[in-house]
Structure 1
Amino acid sequence: MKKYFAIITLVFLLVSCDKKSKVEKAVEEIPVALKVNRFDQAFFEASPKDLPNLKAEYPFFFPEGFDDKVWIEKMQNKDWKDLYAEVQKKYPDFGKQTSEIEDLFKHLKYYFPETVLPRVYTVIGEMDYNSKAIYANDKLIIALELYLGKDVKFYTFPEYLRQNFEERQMMPDIVTSYAMRKIPPPTDKTLLSEMIYYGKELYLKDLVLPNHTDAEKIGYLPEKITWCQENESYIWRFFIEEDLLFSSDSRLANRFINLAPFSKFFLEIDNESPGRVGQWIGWQIVRSFMENNEVSLQDMLKMDAKELFEKSKYKPKKNE
């Protein structure tokens, strides 16, 4: 009996691998060539006399209402120039990252053929961690000052934010911005709707970032993924027993969905937990739904959260 089970398992794995390889082979055949514009270099290597040409070439980086003195001061400011030097040290050449972005857009084109291939711009911005990578219309803007490594001297952010100022988070951040155009926002403010929304985004990362770890997709340290896996049934039981899933209490987002150093059960385990455990549980629900239903990715992304949950057959893994 054991031998029979082993054979069945092997056949299943071979079929799964073959299916995956067929997808990846199809992805490889999709032609994608992206042009990267190093605006960070163009700006900080320029002199004041070059400003008119810069504004003509990159008008969208020079909003109206700002005197030229603002841009000239930025060009010549020592702190900005020091930050630019750090960016140049980390990214003197963007070839490796360009290849990774091209591979990502091959995957996006496979699942969404209508995807517009963007012109890529690297910039040095104002350290807005909510806008690390922006996909908009025909442009992809990447703020390189937020991918220098968590320990650079320029960062004064708390650890839970700095841990994702690493190069490995660049592709997941691009997908997050892209997903905003593909996943309808929640139709209500229940915790479940918020969980499923982010679960859909993370499931999309499963498909288009096959070489990234779960930790990288959600922006956790590896040990925090382990914590979620070991405590999945406890988290779920807490949500159920506290009647949180269909609650519209606005405070729940800050407790379990939004960026935070830890989640807020208001129990001793809080400091051990990562923030955003609601997103992680939502991810497991969406994974369960896709395993148990024959639904296209596009249709799943549009589904109502309650319907998706009810059809997911989600059952948290029991603690050992």
Structure 2
Amino acid sequence: MIQPEKTSKYAVVVSLLTLCFIACNGKASEISNHSSNPIVTIERFDKGLPSYVQETDSAQIFLFIDKYTPFFPVYCRHILGLGDAPSFQKGLKMFLSNEAISQLYADTETKFSNDTVWITELQNAFLRYNELFAPQKRPRILTHISGLNQSIVTIDTTLLSVSLDCYLGENYPLYEQRYYNYERNLHESNRIPIDVVEVWLRTLYPYQSQRNALLDRMIYEGKILYCLSQIFPRTNEYVLLGYSDKQAQWCKENEAEIWKQLIGKKHLFNTESMLINKYIEPAPFVSVLHQDAPGRLGRWIGLQIIKAYANEKKKEAIEIIETTDNGGEILSASKYNG
């Protein structure tokens, strides 16, 4: 019997209110890195913050707070835990003067002053989204430094902010203290567009299942991945999941056996949250299945079911994401059998 290892949930989504997104089929559109009218723009809140904490002009202080409302109070109160104060300047000064935070700020600026590929990819993703699902809402996008807190933060269906210090690369020294080995590859800057769109999807289309069985959750995760694959048509499903080539190959070779085990162990309709998390959350392996089964395997199986369902029913991505999270109903209609 394989004993479960300690795992840490990958902090991608911290939806403080609500959020949104949708996906696509069809020819992918692209924009250049120098587009004069990008579909989304990125506002560098993190770059303006150091100047703000030194500001003494009350009018300029008010302008900064107003410019970044409603994110500013959420950042100060909920992300940094600075309590409640009108300007938060004292608490922010202490935060920015911390040695580790100063290093994060410097390293983030160095990294992202030259790394702009993720911006182009994110703009391309929202261009495809806009063309195929217009007139759907797009978020206002900011960047911030969280001190390795949540990677993506959203506020209702209007604003999303990326914690750039969470994307400095899997070999960044401070990550050894913060993330497990199997999580670090999810913290490369090329993950930002994928994570942003995933968060947008999850907020627009939250998980809804009264039964909340493993199969229901797998179906929901499969729907999210399917839509991501439409938004990022050149990115294969294993990259979306953060799988290595070895993990991808194991999934391909063992799909039938995985399905057989899920049925044989009577896990599909199990509603225990601990068991569901073992199949869905990042982990070194799925301890209740096999030591070579990669974490998040339930998400991958959910995607295979949804792909079969989309093919069987000739459904577009927008129709897929709007379907019920009733796993039994979708599974039956998909005719999936491993």
TM-score, normalization by structure 1 = 0.82
Q: Which runs of 5+ in 2 are unaligned?
A: 1-24, 32-36, 78-83
Tell me, in whole angstroms, the C-alpha distance in 2 between the residues paired with 1:300 and 1:116: 19
Cα pair 2:152 2:195 within 8 Å, conserved: yes
Cα pair 1:263 1:273 within 8 Å, conserved: yes
Q: Which runs of 5+ in 1 are unaligned?
A: 1-21
Q: Deviations over 1:270-307 (max 9, x none)?
A: 1x221111111001000111111123333322233221
2:42 paired residue number = 36
SS of alignment partner, residue 215 of structure 1:
helix
1:109 to 130, 151, 159: 130
1:58 paired residue number = 68
Matched residues, number: 289
- For 1:23, give the aligned amino acid: G
Q: Deviations over 1:146-178 (max 9, x none)?
A: 110011112111111212111121121112111
1:204 paired residue number = 227
SS of alignment partner, residue 217 of structure 1:
helix
1:1-320 mapped onto 2 (5 Å cutoff) = 23-24=26-27, 27=29, 32-46=38-52, 48-49=54-55, 52=61, 53-59=63-69, 60-63=71-74, 65-66=84-85, 67-93=88-114, 95-129=116-150, 131-132=151-152, 134=154, 136-155=156-175, 156=177, 157-187=179-209, 188-265=211-288, 269-270=290-291, 272-301=292-321, 302-303=323-324, 304-316=326-338
Cα pair 1:32 1:105 within 8 Å, conserved: no
Q: Going by fraction, where is helix more abundant, 1 or 2?
A: 1
1:8 paired residue number = none
Identity score, percent? 26
Structure number, greater radius of gyration: 1
Cα displacement (A) at 1:134: 3.9
Q: 1:33 to 1:110 in 2, by over 3 A?
A: closer
Tell me, in whole angstroms, the C-alpha distance in 1 between the residues paired with 2:152 and 2:307: 27
- For 1:119, give the aligned amino acid: R
- For 1:58, give the aligned amino acid: Y
Tell me, in whole angstroms, the C-alpha distance in 2 between the residues paired with 1:163 and 1:108: 26
- For 1:300, give the aligned amino acid: I
- For 1:159, give the aligned amino acid: N
Tell me, in whole angstroms, the C-alpha distance in 1 between the residues paired with 2:103 and 2:52: 15
Cα pair 2:230 2:317 within 8 Å, conserved: no
Higher relative contact order (CA 8 A, sep 6+): 2
Cα displacement (A) at 1:184: 4.4
